Amino acid sequence: MHRFANPGRFQRLAARLLPWLKGLTALAFLAGLYLALLASPPDYQQGETVRIMYVHVPAAWMALFAYLLLGLASASALVWRHPLADVAAAALSPVGAAFTFIALVTGALWGKPMWGTYWVWDARLTSFLLLFFLYLGHMALLGAFDDRSRGQRSAAVLALVGLINLPIIKFSVDWWNTLHQPASVARFDGPSIDPSMLWPLFTMAAAFHLYLLAAVMERMRTQLLAARLRTQRQARFETWQGEPGA
C-alpha cells in the first residue's frame, strides 16, 4: 500500500485510470439499465415494481461497502498514519451517504405498493437509517474543528465505532423478525432470485462498484489538489508578510 503513499504518484495513477473508469462505468450502466428495465421479466408477485430492486439492492450494497472502506481507511489513518487514508475517508463518506439515501428512498417507494407502508421501524430499516446518520456525522465531524487533523481524527474514531453497525444491518433480518425480507443473494443455500433477474442485478452491481471507485478516486484527486493549493496560498501569505512595508 505504501507504494501509493506518495500523493504525487497517486495523482499520476488517478489521471491515467480515471478516463477509463468513467467510460467503463457509463457502459456498465447502459448495459445494466437495459437489462434491468427492459430485458428482464416482471416478478410473479410484484409485477413491474420488482425493477426498483435493481437500483435499491446495489445501492444498499454500495452503502455498506463504502462504509467498510471508510472503516479501513480510518483504521490505517489512525494506526499507520497513511498519508492518503484521511483523503480517502473524506472522499468516501459523501458518496456512501448518497448511496444510503438512494437505498432508503427506493426502499420506501417499493414499500408503499408492496407492504402498504413507506416506512416501519423494524430492525433492518432502523439500522440502515443509523448508517445514514453515521455518514452525516462523519462529514460533520470532519469540518467541525479549525484544526483539520483534529477533525480527521475524531471522524475516524466515529467511523470505527460505527463499523459495529455493519453486521447488525446484514444479520438484522436473521436475528430478529422484521418486515424486510431476508437475504436473497448472499445466503448459504444459494440465491433465491431467478437467474433471469439475478444477472441484470449483478450487472447493475458491477456498474455501481465502478461508479463508487470512479467517484471516490475523483474526489481524492480534487482534495489533494485543494490541499496543495492551500499550502501554496499559505506560503505566499507568509512571504508577503515577511516583506518590508507590508
Residues that bind another protein (CB under 8 A): 41-46, 50, 53, 75, 78-80, 113-117, 120, 122-123, 160-161, 163-164, 168, 173-179, 181-184, 187, 189, 192-194, 196-197
Write down the least CB distance from residue 105 to another protein, Å: 18
Cα separation of 36 and 150, whole Å? 45
Write down the least CB distance from residue 213 to another protein, Å: 26
Find out whether 219 and 91 touch, Cβ atoms under 8 Å. yes
116 conformational bin, left if phi > 0, alpha if psi -120 to 50, beta if neither = left
Identify the CA nearest to 99 among candidates 147, 36, 55, 44. Answer: 55
CB closer to another protein out of 191 and 213 = 191
State whether residue 194 is helix, strand or coil.
coil
CB closer to another protein out of 31 and 173 = 173
Cα separation of 34 and 51, whole Å? 11
Cα separation of 13 and 205, whole Å? 25
CB closer to another protein out of 188 and 240 = 188
CB closer to another protein out of 82 and 221 = 82
Write down the least CB distance from residue 68 to another protein, Å: 13
Write down the least CB distance from residue 35 to another protein, Å: 14
CB closer to another protein out of 6 and 117 = 117
Cα separation of 66 and 237, whole Å? 38
Write down the least CB distance from residue 16 to another protein, Å: 31
